[in-house]
């Protein structure tokens, strides 16, 4: 959510940003906010004037009563009551205007960074850099669920019977590999100085609307029927929510945390070959990282965070690339974002395995996360990044570590989490 002072002082900049995101349907919101804000401030000024009048008139009542001027005192009381009624009506109107302004402000997108490439959608995202040599072996790489099934590692049919499409049972060494990757990612981030946390897996609606846009919420979140609780789609939600309403001591910043959680999402994968795999599913597990920091430090942290994901994947011999999200592909709260994509030898292309985002003060402004300053408190900046998200990451892992004889090589960093195993065989 933007600072309303920006809309008051530079509405054209806000409109230009909306155009860069190809959301022209939102342009009228800026003028609507300006009009409502003008009416609200005029009402506040009138209210202050009425309160001053009421205070002055109220003082006369006692004086008139002492002087025995009861009729005049009663008339003065009626004036005070009339002012009180007008104030009550104005306060009700101001509350309604405040909500009208906020509802529009929540939909106006955050200002993107000047370095963000302009484009309509993800087809116009820009490749930044490749890490590792993408290799296509001279033997066939089967579809990822076929690789898992060859070692009795997945049961999709049973999951469809118990839960429907978009769910899975991981079994045996594949299930163990899944947990090993999460454990390795956890320790990897702890070694980077991040504090490990297991957060709540359900959050209230005020946290949901604080961390994401309405469109994202509708597309992603599962609501618990009859309660003000939502299942998290990523642990970033509850991790940022942890600081809701806090005034942070600058000496304690940055707050760097890495969290494990299951994640629950409404969307199910694209039609076709992805539908029977584990590309897009309703339930998965994830290791996440978040940073709450000083505004001037957020871009430095942004670059550190995505580099950690690249380093993690490269330590498991998985080639990756970074892809800068263009303006039209950025969610409304994001200032800048980069996707990390892993190489798929089977598809001979890269696919997304993580995303790093700088949200500026958008989440902090919505949730009231401030930093204590000498000349007044100010909003913190928040960032989030995927460390690793199995089972999607398993797709990249299996394809890049499958050997010609059908065995799956276990890279050195994972072996201690796999009981010393160097490979998985049928």
85 vs 2, higher pLDDT: 2
- SS3 for 141? coil
pTM value is 0.88
307-360: per-residue pLDDT in tens? 999 999 999 999 999 999 999 999 999 999 999 999 999 999 999 999 999 999
Question: 228 near 205, Cβ under 8 Å?
Answer: yes
List, in sequence order, the alpha helices (H) in 258-319: 298-315
Encode burial over 362-379: b for 16+ CB neighbours within 10 A, e otherwise.
Answer: bbbbbbebbbeeeeeeeb
* pLDDT value at residue 205: 92
Q: Domains of the chain by range and CATH?
A: 4-105 (1.10.287.40), 122-424 (3.30.930.10)
Residue 64, pLDDT > 70, answer: no
Q: How confident is the model at residue 276 (pLDDT cuts 50, 70, 90)?
A: low
Report CA-CA distances (Å) from 37 to 17, 121, 163, 264. 20, 33, 49, 38
Task: Measure the CA–CA gap between 237 and 199, rounded to whole angstroms.
Answer: 9
123-165: per-residue pLDDT in tens? 999 999 999 999 999 999 999 999 999 999 999 999 999 998 8
């Amino acid at each position: 959510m933007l600072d309303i002072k920006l809309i008051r002082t530079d509405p054209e900049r806000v409109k230009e940003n909306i155009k860069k995101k190809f959301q022209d349907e939102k342009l009228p919101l800026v003028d609507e906010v300006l009009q409502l804000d003008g009416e609200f401030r005029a009402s506040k000024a009138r209210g202050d004037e009425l309160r001053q009048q009421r205070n002055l008139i109220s003082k006369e009542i006692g004086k008139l009563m002492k002087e025995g001027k009861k009729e005049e005192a009663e008339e003065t009381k009626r004036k005070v009551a009339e002012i009180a009624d007008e104030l009550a009506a104005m306060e009700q109107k101001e509350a309604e205007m405040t909500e009208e302004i906020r509802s529009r402000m929540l939909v106006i997108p955050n200002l993107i960074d000047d370095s963000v490439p302009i484009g309509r959608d993800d087809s116009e995202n820009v490749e930044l850099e490749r890490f590792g040599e993408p290799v296509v072996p001279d033997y066939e790489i089967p579809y990822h669920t076929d690789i898992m099934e060859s070692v009795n590692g997945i049961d999709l049919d049973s999951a469809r019977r118990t839960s429907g499409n978009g769910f899975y049972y991981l079994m045996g060494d594949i299930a163990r590999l899944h947990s090993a990757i999460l454990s390795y990612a956890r320790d990897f981030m702890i070694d980077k100085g991040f504090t490990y946390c297991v957060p709540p897996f359900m959050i209230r609606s005020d946290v949901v609307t604080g961390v994401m846009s309405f469109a994202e919420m509708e597309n992603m979140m599962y609501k618990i029927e009859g309660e003000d609780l939502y299942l998290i789609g990523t642990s970033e939600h509850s991790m940022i929510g942890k600081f809701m309403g806090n005034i942070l001591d600058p000496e304690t910043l940055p707050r760097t945390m890495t969290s494990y959680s299951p994640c629950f999402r409404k969307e199910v994968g694209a039609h076709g070959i992805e539908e029977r795999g584990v590309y897009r599913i309703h339930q998965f597990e994830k290791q996440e990282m978040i940073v709450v920091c000083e505004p001037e430090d957020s871009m430095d942290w942004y670059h550190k965070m995505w580099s950690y994901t690249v380093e993690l994947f490269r330590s498991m011999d998985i080639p990756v690339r970074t892809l800068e999200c263009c303006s039209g592909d950025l969610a409304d709260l994001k200032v800048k974002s980069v996707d990390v994509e892993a190489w798929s030898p089977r598809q001979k292309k890269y696919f997304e395995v993580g995303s790093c985002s700088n949200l500026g003060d958008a989440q902090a402004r919505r949730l009231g996360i401030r930093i204590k300053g000498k000349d007044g408190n100010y909003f913190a900046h928040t960032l989030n990044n995927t460390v690793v998200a199995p089972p999607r990451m398993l797709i990249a892992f299996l394809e890049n570590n499958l050997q010609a004889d059908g065995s799956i090589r276990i890279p050195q960093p994972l072996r201690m989490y796999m009981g010393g195993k160097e490979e998985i065989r049928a």
